[in-house]
Copies of this chain bind each other. A is one copy, B any other.
Amino acid sequence: VRGIEGEQVLLRIISGEAHTHDRRPLYDCLIELLRAEGLAGATVLKGVAGFGRDREIHTTAIEVAARDLPIVVEVVDTAERIDRVLPKIDALMSGGIVSIERAHVIRYAGSRPPESPEGHQGS
Copies of this protein in the assembly total: 3
State the Cβ distance, A26 to closest chain B Cβ, in Å. 9
Question: Which of B41, B106, B118 has a CB less than 8 Å from the CB of A98?
Answer: B106
B31 and A43 within 8 A (CB): no
Residues of B within 8 A of A4 (CB): 97
Provide the A105-123 mask, 1 if CB < 8 A to any CB of B, else 0.
1111110111110100110
A109 and B97 within 8 A (CB): yes
9 additional contacts, CB 8 Å, given A14-B43, A19-B121, A44-B48?
A20-B116, A44-B70, A45-B48, A46-B47, A76-B97, A94-B112, A97-B105, A98-B107, A101-B102
